[in-house]
Structure 1
Amino acid sequence: MTTDPAPFLTALRLSDSFLPVGGYTASYGLEQYLNEDRIEDGDDLRELIAAYLRRVVGPCETVALANAHAASADGDRERLLAVDERLHAVTMPREFRESSTKAGAKLCELLASHSSREDSHADGGIEPSDDAVHRAADGGDVAAAVDDAIERDATPGHYPVVFGVVAEARGLSRLETCLAHAYSFVTGLLGAAQRLGRFGHTEIQSVLETLQPVIATVCERHVSDDVTAMAPFAPLAEIMGMRHEHAGRRLFMS
């Protein structure tokens, strides 16, 4: 793991719910599990999230993330957009796709805004050019190409793909990037479970601690997978996501 403080702080920032990309609005079907009383205690919650890690996050989002990171490092725009398209194709529930693409667009927007402010400061307060506004901070040509493709609706812009580009541009290794993303996913689901009123702080922290080895194992297993291996297998989670679209009571968007 890196000892450079800048990439480490970037990992903390990207995995923090404080990052305003809308992750707090997504439960990825967890709300429906609770609505249907399929989760009774912390053990049930731990088993469910572990299954998400092993069957969705690992074989699908981690594979996309790692390949997006590699494509960004190589400056391969076509490969990067192909990763994004494949992730879109294998993500079945509509709510899951929408949550992911909205978060990806917000992350691009956030970084473009940051970049434009940096350019303005560098120019002594002069209004930034159009190119500067659309150039992701520290992301170079690849990040700018992704941002432009999302704006033109030429690519879906899924969050793991954008996350991979941003993390690579800021010095995180592929494994570090996968770990940060998986940790963020887990804490997002645990936060959703807590806000739904079923679990307290202490129990949530206990579940998080027991899931940390699973996060590490899943990321290490899938960090080197080829993009063609990208495929989730979680039929019940997908069904819960689809049922959630039509639920009469919803606190979360997914």
Structure 2
Amino acid sequence: MSPIGDRPAIDPLLWLLQISDSALPIGSYSHSWGLETAIQGDRIVSAEQARQYLAGLLHQAIAPQEGAACALAHAYALRHDDRAFIALQAHLTAARWAEEPLKASLDLGQRLHRWAQSTWNLSCPETESLHHCAAFGWLCAEAGVGGADAVRAYLLGSMTNLVSAAVRLIPLGHSCGQQVLAQLHSEIAAVVPNCLAAESGDRLHNFAPLLERDCQAHRHLYTRLFQS
């Protein structure tokens, strides 16, 4: 579809629900972010172990890095601070040393951006690299979505994709997977304030060395269902 001429009226809630849907054609469902390696290594074999693993990733890696970056990008969009947004991309690139998740983050960011441009005439500042979490935050601000809601939606989407991978890999029943996701709601709510309190890109952090190892080892698995 070619870009539409005028920006259509946007209902922020409906827009947020659509952009957060795993059916959005950007390929988020095709990544396990190292979870496939952990499951093949028999370190996650039950729903409870999956819940504990994902809660740890949320608190130690996803929220303080990607969630905070989403919040920062949203704030930069409200201030029309293109320079800070572009600098944020460099921080996010430097924070990922495993090749597969770095490429996945950039691919998802570019696809999300292209979809927003072609469907809604929304765009991010021009930059050589565009990470998914930052694109999500900036575009949410452009669509009129509040910062806290943008972060909640981004984190829930991240957990949803990981639970979906666990359902297919462990495997778990779909109802069991949804129960795991529901149990993570309170964990997500607990980390949102810290994400919103981020002051700059150089304050992003994560501490999940085993995850990085699993991401790096993923390419060497004998069989793989996921791209990362």
**Length-normalised TM-score, structure 1:** 0.83
Query: 1:47 maps to what in 2?
Result: 52
Query: 1:209 maps to what in 2?
Result: 182
Query: 1:101 maps to what in 2?
Result: 106
Once residues 35 and 167 of structure 2 are traced to their aligned partners in structure 1, the CA distance between those partners, rounded to angstroms, is 11
Any idea what the Cα deviations from partners look like across 1:61-88, whole Å, max 9, x if unmatched?
Answer: 0111111111111111110001111011
**Amino acid in the other structure paired with 2:210:** L
Please identify the structure whose Cα radius of gyration is greater: 1
Query: 2:155 maps to what in 1?
Result: 182
Query: 1:241 maps to what in 2?
Result: 215
Q: Which one is further off, 222-231 or 233-242? A: 222-231
Offset, 1:101: 0.4
Offset, 1:223: 1.4
Any idea what the Cα deviations from partners look like across 1:194-245, whole Å, max 9, x if unmatched?
Answer: 1225100121111111100001111122211122210111011111111102
Q: Is the aligned partner of 1:68 residue 2:73?
A: yes
Equivalent residues of 1:31, 1:196 under 8 A apart = yes
Give the root-mean-square deviation of aligned CA atoms: 1.3
Q: Which one is further off, 188-197 or 57-66? A: 188-197
Q: Is the aligned partner of 1:230 residue 2:208?
A: no
Once residues 216 and 169 of structure 2 are traced to their aligned partners in structure 1, the CA distance between those partners, rounded to angstroms, is 19
Once residues 91 and 102 of structure 1 are traced to their aligned partners in structure 2, the CA distance between those partners, rounded to angstroms, is 14
Query: 2:173 maps to what in 1?
Result: 200
Equivalent residues of 1:14, 1:181 under 8 A apart = no
Once residues 69 and 122 of structure 2 are traced to their aligned partners in structure 1, the CA distance between those partners, rounded to angstroms, is 21
Equivalent residues of 1:179, 1:215 under 8 A apart = yes
Query: 2:4 maps to what in 1?
Result: none
Equivalent residues of 2:39, 2:170 under 8 A apart = no
**Amino acid in the other structure paired with 1:56:** A
**Amino acid in the other structure paired with 1:246:** H
Once residues 231 and 92 of structure 1 are traced to their aligned partners in structure 2, the CA distance between those partners, rounded to angstroms, is 13
Any idea what the Cα deviations from partners look like across 1:50-108, whole Å, max 9, x if unmatched?
Answer: 01110111110011111111111111111000111101111221111111100011011
Q: Is the aligned partner of 1:11 residue 2:16?
A: yes
Equivalent residues of 1:100, 1:158 under 8 A apart = yes
Query: 1:20 maps to what in 2?
Result: 25
Once residues 196 and 112 of structure 1 are traced to their aligned partners in structure 2, the CA distance between those partners, rounded to angstroms, is 34
Offset, 1:6: 1.3
**Amino acid in the other structure paired with 1:67:** L
Offset, 1:112: 2.1
Equivalent residues of 2:166, 2:172 under 8 A apart = yes
Equivalent in 90, 106, 115 of residue 110 of structure 1: 115
Once residues 105 and 46 of structure 1 are traced to their aligned partners in structure 2, the CA distance between those partners, rounded to angstroms, is 30
SS in 1 for 2:32: coil
Equivalent residues of 2:38, 2:214 under 8 A apart = yes
**Amino acid in the other structure paired with 2:46:** D
Once residues 57 and 200 of structure 1 are traced to their aligned partners in structure 2, the CA distance between those partners, rounded to angstroms, is 25
Offset, 1:138: 3.9
Runs of 4+ aligned residues of structure 1 deviating over 3 Å after TM superposition are none
SS in 1 for 2:21: coil
The number of residue pairs the alignment matches comes to 218
Once residues 233 and 190 of structure 1 are traced to their aligned partners in structure 2, the CA distance between those partners, rounded to angstroms, is 21
Equivalent residues of 2:46, 2:170 under 8 A apart = no
